[in-house]
Structure 1
Amino acid sequence: MLERTLVDLGLNETEARFYLAALELGAAPIREVATKAGISRTNAYDVLSRLEAQGLVTSEEAGVRNMRVIAASPERLAEVFDSRRRRLESILPDLRSLHVGGTGKPRVRYHEGRAGIQSVLEETLACRSKALLGILSMRDLYEVPGRAWMDELVRRRIAAGVFLRVVRSRSSDIHAHWKDSAEDLRALRFAPEAFETSMTTYIYDDTVALISSRRENFAMTIESAEFAALQRHLFEALWNASTPSNGRAGKRQRTATVSKVG
């Protein structure tokens, strides 16, 4: 059962048997590990080399023409497979774009619950353009998926070099956090007073991500070049109508105000 699970997770059968044998024997000569794994000693050196490259075993000299094998802890095994999962997730947007491009049809994915919302938010970190547009409801994001989780997402976005231009509503904003900051790769504006939403929208590459409030508790992604272009134009219109977070209205707003007074 253990061997089958390791194979399902990405090791081949020989590697799985060798690792399990080394794990059970502790620090043991390679010939003993090979015997317990049911492979030849010659083949064992090749398997050892592959597992060492993955960080799953180490080896050390133990006398003339003798080598001891030490298996990494099961926790290390979990780290290796988790790293593979993260690498796969990082290229998912590229794989999806190939899939969408091949069919010529938009791809719509629906997720429910906190885990689904977190998954959609994490996907924004892999945007190829490194440019993220957002219309956020901070109050609702602080509820689901929660402030601590969102703060960690922000930290990871900054580490990934993804710049965020974001519009938020003053009425649902938490002004002490997520400020306009070059260091945090964030440009912030506040929407006109009449604009308020409990939904959060992110636009990047050819994808639009929608995150609801806790009341409806869902997230959705739409991968479509045309739909993303439309949402990008609508975002720019809202951005131009919004006020920089330093309180100084943009040129278009001042012009509109003067015209209204006149």
Structure 2
Amino acid sequence: MTQQAFDQLGLNPRETLLYQTLLQLGPASIRDIADKSGINRGSAYESLKQLQAKGVVSYFPKGKRRFFSAENPEILLKLAEEKRANLDKAIESLKHSVIPNLHQLQPDYHQTNVRYYEGDEGIEWVLRDILNVVSEQKSDNKEYCVFSSKPIRPFLYRPFPNFTKQRIKLGIKVNVIAIGDGGEDAELSERKWIRTEGAVDASYIAIYPPKCAIISLASDNFPSAVVLESKDIAMAQQIIFNTLWGLL
């Protein structure tokens, strides 16, 4: 029985200990509960009141004293099911009402939202963002396009090695213009090449409207990324990509 499960139900470690103590004792006074659990009476009493409010503990008077009793452990499953039902309702409300209404509050500026990310964690965030944004496209053909140079490939998926598997699982296609030789063939992927002479910089540009992500390597192969969120910029980059794609 892990505390993590109780945490999800809203029971902190002290409340969990008191509930388990009551299961062992049966109906008991605050004195007996405090002695058995090792928690002082004042703190135990306050926590028992919280447990009562959550429905996992009840009490009854016995003379001038108040006795507490633990509810059947099956109550925990009922609490979990209630929380899941409430969460499902909240998700539906966010999807169909709250988020659309919040979007209406945003002014329709032709403004570019720029975000910067660094290190493997930052690159992983960008890669996951690509999957999330493209998977939400309303079109049946979910896809994005990429410019990718050879030097960055060994470092790009280092923080997210199963990126390609996740992309394929989501049914997302990618068109790649590879700068330099190499690149792996994969399902739902089409690749064309630009041949170059001499060294090229390590760079990766993903176009997934309304966003574009630019990933590059600094000294010591330290990755960094810039994500531009702008329909106009993404559209311009898409036109450039499509034009070049048609020429290769």
Query: What's the TM-score, normalizing by structure 2?
Result: 0.58
Question: Identity across aligned pairs (percent)?
Answer: 18
- How many residues in Structure 1 have an aligned counterpart in Structure 2? 185
Matches within 5 A, 1:59-208: 66-68=71-73, 98=103, 102-127=108-133, 128-129=136-137, 130-144=142-156, 146=158, 149-171=159-181, 173-174=182-183, 178-179=184-185, 181=186, 184-193=187-196, 196-208=200-212
1:211 maps to 2:221: no
Is the 1:191–1:241 contact (alpha carbons within 8 Å) kept by the matching residues of 2? no
Deviation of residue 36 (structure 1)? 6.9
CA distance in 2, matches of 1:212, 1:122: 17
Structure 2 counterpart SS, 1:167? strand
Is the 1:108–1:220 contact (alpha carbons within 8 Å) kept by the matching residues of 2? yes
In structure 2, what residue type is equivalent to 1:223? E
CA distance in 1, matches of 2:243, 2:54: 64
Deviation of residue 201 (structure 1)? 0.5
Q: 1:20 aligns with which of 13, 21, 32?
A: 13
Structure 2 unaligned segments of length 5 or more: list them. Answer: 34-43, 58-69, 78-83, 85-90
Is the 1:202–1:209 contact (alpha carbons within 8 Å) kept by the matching residues of 2? yes
Q: CA, structure 1 residues 155+107, in 2 after alignment: closer, same or farther (shift >3 Å)?
A: same
Deviation of residue 23 (structure 1)? 3.6
In structure 2, what residue type is equivalent to 1:67? N
Is the 2:180–2:193 contact (alpha carbons within 8 Å) kept by the matching residues of 1? yes
Deviation of residue 207 (structure 1)? 0.3
Structure 2 counterpart SS, 1:105? coil
In structure 2, what residue type is equivalent to 1:155? K
Higher CA-based Rg: 2
Deviation of residue 164 (structure 1)? 0.9
Specify the alignment match of 2:236 in structure 1: 230
Q: CA, structure 1 residues 194+224, in 2 after alignment: closer, same or farther (shift >3 Å)?
A: farther
Query: What's the TM-score, normalizing by structure 1?
Result: 0.55
